[in-house]
Amino acid sequence: MEKENKLSSTAVVKTDRGAAKEMQCDLPQSYGKTESCLLPKDPAWMFLFWDIVKDTYDYIMGAHGAGIFDKSRSVIRVYDITGVAAFDGQNACSHFDVPVFLDAGSWYINVPQSGRLYVCDLGIITPEGNFILLTRSNSILVPAGRVSDIIDERWMLVEGEYQKLLKMSGADIWGGGAAGAGASERLQHILAQRWKMLGLEGAPSSHVSSFSSHALAGAHGNAPDAGDDIWLKADCELLIYGQACQNAQVSIAGKPLRLNADGSFSLRYSLPEGAQVLVPITARHKENEDKKRAITIKASRAKEA
């Protein structure tokens, strides 16, 4: 039976209800292939869904006995393969098992550590403790869910590159000359607030150095005229560097710090006039927290006229 739906004075749509009903169908329960797919949900959870066809069950029962599934435990074996070039099922950094029902078709998995690379095997564990693989998923990187701890000097900008980025950001529309120096101070204040979110005093030197030189240039030009009175400005920064053994977790002002390959680290802070900076540095053994070392850097600055 056909029904006319008048949408406007100039358009008529004819809908064949019978044909539309015949076209309706449900999604298939299976796509005829044994496979699994792993997806990241958030820094603490992953989601695995799978499809196991009858041929796979028949093959496993033919190789291990008809009652193999009844007497075995079904699990998701979660592998941490961070830094593993070619995973073969035996060379993972670590792994753990999650009990699961094979008929569920999907499962949420809580990860022990974020920012790592994971892959999952769906299978069964026999009474003898042997793991029989049914399907292996793709690998995924679970997001870290925290502020990056890469704060060393490798991210510094040279002055020329910084000025280009500053101009591209539109900072120069706030005004040049002395006004530009004021804009520079406002940008520096914004970056200082971001830096304080990490629990550290001062600001990274890659910004401080550039802002300081920009402010000086904005106030007096790149070079004073020959007839100007003599003038002088100076500034300074605090450089902290050191090294620890690779089995140590180093923290600065309570925040974990990633070490370089040789165990070295370095940070730079602004040191404004009259500032007193206290930087506690601690190192704890990764496996034995009773073993620890601590150093506190104290610095103050007083400028004499």
Claim to verify: residue 95 and residue 161 sit in the same structural domain: no
Instruction: Look at residues 141, 170, 195 and tell me which one is the last residue of a structural domain.
Output: 141
Tokens describing residue 90: 């035996």
Domain span at 53: 35-141
Claim to verify: residue 64 and residue 165 sit in the same structural domain: no
50: left (phi over 0), alpha (psi -120 to 50) or beta: beta
**Looking at the domain assignment, is residue 217 inside a domain?**
yes
Judge contact between 99 and 123, C-beta under 8 A: no
Give the 3-state secondary structure of residue 296: strand
Domain count, the chain: 2
Residue 107 makes CB contacts below 8 A (sequence gap 6+) with 47, 48, 49, 76, 98, 100
Residues 98-132 have pLDDT tens digits of 999 999 899 999 998 889 999 999 999 999 999 99
Claim to verify: residue 165 and residue 296 sit in the same structural domain: yes
Residues 216-272 have pLDDT tens digits of 444 444 555 556 677 777 777 777 878 888 788 888 877 888 888 778 877 776 777
Claim to verify: residue 280 and residue 177 sit in the same structural domain: yes
**Looking at the domain assignment, is residue 212 inside a domain?**
yes
- Backbone dihedral angles phi then psi of residue 207, each to the nearest 5 degrees: -90, -40
Instruction: Look at residues 93, 120, 141 and tell me which one is the last residue of a structural domain.
Output: 141
Residue 170 makes CB contacts below 8 A (sequence gap 6+) with none
pLDDT for the residue numbered 55: 93
Instruction: Look at residues 92, 117, 141 and tell me which one is the last residue of a structural domain.
Output: 141
Claim to verify: residue 130 and residue 165 sit in the same structural domain: no
